Amino acid sequence: MKELDTALLDWFDERLDIRRAVEWARHKQVPVHRGSVFYYAGGVCLFLFLLQLASGILLLMYYRVGADSSYESVRYISSKVAFGWLVRSIHSWGANIMIFCVFVHMFSVFLMKAFRKPRELTWMTGCVLLGLCLAFGFSGYLLPWNELSLFATKVGTDIIGQVPGAGHWLLKLVRGGDEVTGATLSRFFGLHVAILPALLSLAIGAHLAFVQLQGMAHAEESPKSMPFFPNFFLRDVMLWLVVLNAVAVLAVFFPWELGKKAEALASAPAGIKPEWYFLAQYQFLKLLPARILLIPGELWGIILVGAAGLLWLLTPFWDAALPRDSKEAAVRLAGWGSLAALIAMTLWGRWS
Amino acid sequence: MRLLTRKEFLNLFLGGGALGLVGSTLYPVLRYLLPPEQVEAEPDALKAGAVKDFAAGTSKLVKFGPRPVIVIRDVKGNFHALTATCTHLDCIVQYSKDADLVWCACHNGRYDLSGKNISGPPPRPLTRLDVRVADGEVTVVKTA
ipTM of the complex: 0.82
What is the pLDDT at residue A227? 84
pLDDT reading at B39 higher than 60: yes
Which residues of chain A have a CB within 8 Å of the CB of B33?
58, 61
SS3 call for A270 = coil
How much is the pTM? 0.84
Shortest distance between the Cα of B30 and any Cα of chain A, in A, equals 9
CA distance A117 to A38: 20
**C-alpha span between A133 and B85 (Å, rounded):** 48
Give yes or no for A83 touching B (CB within 8 A): yes
Predicted confidence (pLDDT) per residue in A2-13, tens digit: 688 888 888 999
Residues A160-189, mean pLDDT to the nearest whole number? 90
Selected residue with higher pLDDT from A222 and B12: B12
Is the separation of the CB atoms in B140 and B46 below 8 Å?
yes
Question: Using an 8 Å Cβ cutoff, are A256 and A89 in contact?
Answer: yes
8 A C-beta contact, residue A156 and residue A166: no
**Nearest residue on chain B to A237, judged by CA atoms?**
B18
- The yes-or-no verdict on residue B1 having pLDDT over 60 is yes
Contact present, A296 and A162 (Cβ < 8 Å)? yes
**Touching check for A237 and chain B: CB below 8 Å?**
no
- Whether residues A82 and B34 touch (CB distance < 8 A) is answered with yes
Per DSSP, A263 falls in state -
The reported pLDDT for the residue numbered A1 is: 54
Report the pLDDT value the prediction gives residue A254, as an integer from 0 to 100: 95
Lowest mean pLDDT among A16-20, B30-34, B111-115: A16-20
Residue A316 CB burial class (10 angstroms; 0-12, 13-18, ≥19): buried
Q: What residues of B are in contact with residue A83 (Cβ under 8 Å)?
A: 28-29, 31-32
The secondary structure of A215-262 as a DSSP string is -----S--S-EEEIIIIIHHHHHHHHHHHHHHHHHHHHHSPPP--SBP
Please tell me the predicted confidence (pLDDT) of residue A334.
94
Which chain A residue lies closest to B28 (C-alpha atoms)? A83
pLDDT of residue A220: 66
Residue A338 clears pLDDT 90, i.e. is over it: yes
List of domains in chain A: 2-272 (1.20.810.10)
Q: Residue A292's pLDDT is what?
A: 83
Which residues in chain B touch residue A81, judged by CB atoms under 8 angstroms apart?
Answer: 32, 35-36
Per this entry, what is the length of chain A?
A: 352
pLDDT (tens digit, 9 = 90+) per residue, A123-136?
A: 999 999 999 999 99
Mean pLDDT, to the nearest integer, of A304-330? 93
Tens digits of per-residue pLDDT, A264-289?
778 888 778 889 999 999 899 888 88
Residue of B nearest to A85 (CA): B32
Q: Do A241 and B21 touch (CB under 8 A)?
A: yes
Q: How many Cβ pairs within 8 Å bridge chains A and B?
A: 25
Cα-atom radius of gyration of chain B, to the nearest Å?
27
Report yes or no: B143 at the A interface, CB cutoff 8 Å. no
User: A40: closest CA among A183, A178, A235, A194?
Assistant: A235
Nearest CA in chain A to B38: A80
Looking at residue A216, its pLDDT comes to: 77
Q: Is any Cβ of chain A less than 8 angstroms from the Cβ of B31? A: yes
Per-residue pLDDT reduced to its tens digit, A23-63 = 887 788 888 887 788 889 999 999 999 999 999 999 999 99
* Percentage with pLDDT > 70 across chain A: 98
